[in-house]
Chain A
């Protein structure tokens, strides 16, 4: 669709410090997997993107990083907004993406995993969620986690968590996941082990 630049939501109010604050939030979340970090900025994003999702892309995506959007997010002014603010290529298939943005999904199939020699080329998958809280739906352990921590994520079902557990088995390859609720985020890097705690995992 054609959108005039003046119609597009403004993005960050202060691009330099807001991008830094958003990056630091993601860095903290990636360093301490499963820990919920508040989004430290206010940001204007087009629906159906949520503020945290939009902020992460504004902070990290640019002309070097192809972005893939799931079909239900690729609506309205989202594509035009990303092109205008980030200048990022938008790609149609999962394997091409460096950043993949999706609503709750059942699998992680097809995303770039990197290679044994270059594991850093794996995709970062941003899962946009309605809510995110600490809880005991899944137990997490691994680097960055002093004692086991847990998450409760309404909207993510057992098949997603199975995909996360399988993703860990690929180490050093594998995607890194950012769980983005509108005003907070948590990360599941490929080093994080996920254990089932609720009966739904065994289904």
Chain B
């Protein structure tokens, strides 16, 4: 606690701002999937770097929280490292890269592979909170569409995918229906992660800084990915397993290894991957596999 940055309130935001955001969070939990407007503040990082998520985290975090921050599943990328350091400095909290240890997880574009548990809170950074925005640019209209359950346009968009590509080609930010009512943007997570949102025991909070919206999915809440009877929702699959840990059930990133077409597929969730490798190292010494050179699945 001794190296907390002086001159700022605990967790950077002033108490008045925190109260306003806390009230918005409580209403967001009470109306699952509905986007609550809030008076977003300027944060010391640019829009698009998680200003919404960081304001939600700053309002929720307490001194005894253990914080994990991931960016595309990784704990060691610029965005994750700087947000983790921000809260280590302004709130003096303990940080971790281990999903199981964290009480509060801020994420950009992934849900950890490990199933989250009761008492954990996951905060998503959201660039565009309005799932209907690509069909209807006017906020006044999209509010009415949500109020009147006028969601036909969203199904038309998915149907157009089928007409053009023969399948629903939307692969990230795949729209969901929350508790049978509101259609919600799950933030740009891959649709691979959508099923994890359904009935998750942890509380899910979403913060959009530029658009100034907060929304939430309470624990144990139905989250359905939109689909059609004859074109059911499905997630991405790979022919490969992770080149480092051999996982066949995790979301894989393609990594270019040289300039001659060499590539490997590795777990996007770095904690999941290193945990599996540590476990197999224990079991059989060096558990690392050589990179494979194969065609991409998609």
- Which residues of A does B touch, CB under 8 Å? 15-17, 19-21, 23-24, 26-28, 30-32, 59-62, 64-65, 115-120, 122, 124, 143-146, 171-172, 176, 189-191
- The list of the 7 closest CB pairs from A to B, nearest first, reads A116-B147, A189-B30, A120-B27, A143-B221, A144-B218, A143-B218, A120-B36
Q: 17 interchain pairs (CB within 8 A)?
A: A17-B10, A20-B18, A27-B22, A27-B25, A31-B29, A32-B118, A62-B20, A65-B23, A116-B148, A120-B28, A120-B37, A124-B26, A143-B219, A144-B219, A145-B220, A146-B219, A172-B34
Q: How many A-B residue pairs have CB under 8 A?
A: 106
With A17-B10, A32-B219, A120-B36 in contact, do A146 and B144 touch (Cβ < 8 Å)?
Answer: no
- Residue B161 CB within 8 A of the other chain: no
Q: Are A30 and B26 neighbours in the complex by a CB distance under 8 Å?
A: yes
- Residue B177 CB within 8 A of the other chain: no
Contact of B15 among A15, A21, A28, A146 (CB under 8 A): A15
- Min C-beta distance of B75 to chain A, whole Å: 24
With A24-B60, A30-B29 in contact, do A119 and B15 touch (Cβ < 8 Å)?
Answer: no
Contact of B218 among A20, A31, A171 (CB under 8 A): A31
Q: Are B31 and A172 neighbours in the complex by a CB distance under 8 Å?
A: yes
0/1 string, B31-58, CB within 8 A of A gives 1: 1101011000000000000000000000
Give CA–CA (A171, B33) in the complex, Å. Answer: 13
B220 / chain A contacts, CB cutoff of 8 Å: 143-146
A144 / chain B contacts, CB cutoff of 8 Å: 29, 218-221
- Min C-beta distance of A122 to chain B, whole Å: 8
Contact of A172 among B62, B119, B181 (CB under 8 A): B181
Give CA–CA (A95, B24) in the complex, Å. Answer: 19
Give CA–CA (A122, B26) in the complex, Å. Answer: 12
0/1 string, B182-202, CB within 8 A of A gives 1: 100000000000000000010
Q: How large is the interface on B (under 10, 10 to 19, 20 to 34, 35 or more residues)?
A: 35 or more
Give CA–CA (A172, B182) in the complex, Å. Answer: 9
With A27-B25, A144-B219 in contact, do A19 and B30 touch (Cβ < 8 Å)?
Answer: no
- Min C-beta distance of B242 to chain A, whole Å: 32
B62 / chain A contacts, CB cutoff of 8 Å: 17, 20-21, 24
Give CA–CA (A191, B220) in the complex, Å. Answer: 12
- Residue B203 CB within 8 A of the other chain: yes
- Min C-beta distance of B90 to chain A, whole Å: 12
A143 / chain B contacts, CB cutoff of 8 Å: 32, 179, 218-222
Select from chain B the residue with minimum beta-carbon distance to A65: B23
B37 / chain A contacts, CB cutoff of 8 Å: 120
Other A-B pairs beyond A19-B19, A21-B62, A172-B147, 20, CB < 8 Å = A17-B10, A20-B10, A20-B61, A23-B22, A30-B26, A31-B219, A32-B218, A32-B219, A60-B19, A62-B16, A117-B146, A117-B147, A118-B143, A120-B28, A120-B34, A144-B29, A146-B201, A171-B31, A176-B30, A191-B32
Q: Are B63 and A191 neighbours in the complex by a CB distance under 8 Å?
A: no
A176 / chain B contacts, CB cutoff of 8 Å: 26-27, 30
Which B202-255 residues have a C-beta within 8 angstroms of A?
A: 203, 218-222
- Min C-beta distance of B141 to chain A, whole Å: 11
Give CA–CA (A116, B31) in the complex, Å. Answer: 11
B221 / chain A contacts, CB cutoff of 8 Å: 143-144
- Residue B117 CB within 8 A of the other chain: no
With A17-B10, A144-B218, A146-B201 in contact, do A191 and B23 touch (Cβ < 8 Å)?
Answer: no
Select from chain A the residue with minimum beta-carbon distance to B182: A172
Give CA–CA (A146, B25) in the complex, Å. Answer: 21
Give CA–CA (A144, B216) in the complex, Å. Answer: 12
Q: Are A16 and B30 neighbours in the complex by a CB distance under 8 Å?
A: no
- Residue B77 CB within 8 A of the other chain: no
Q: Are A31 and B10 neighbours in the complex by a CB distance under 8 Å?
A: no
With A143-B221, A144-B220 in contact, do A60 and B201 touch (Cβ < 8 Å)?
Answer: no
Contact of A27 among B36, B60, B146, B148 (CB under 8 A): B60
- Residue B9 CB within 8 A of the other chain: yes
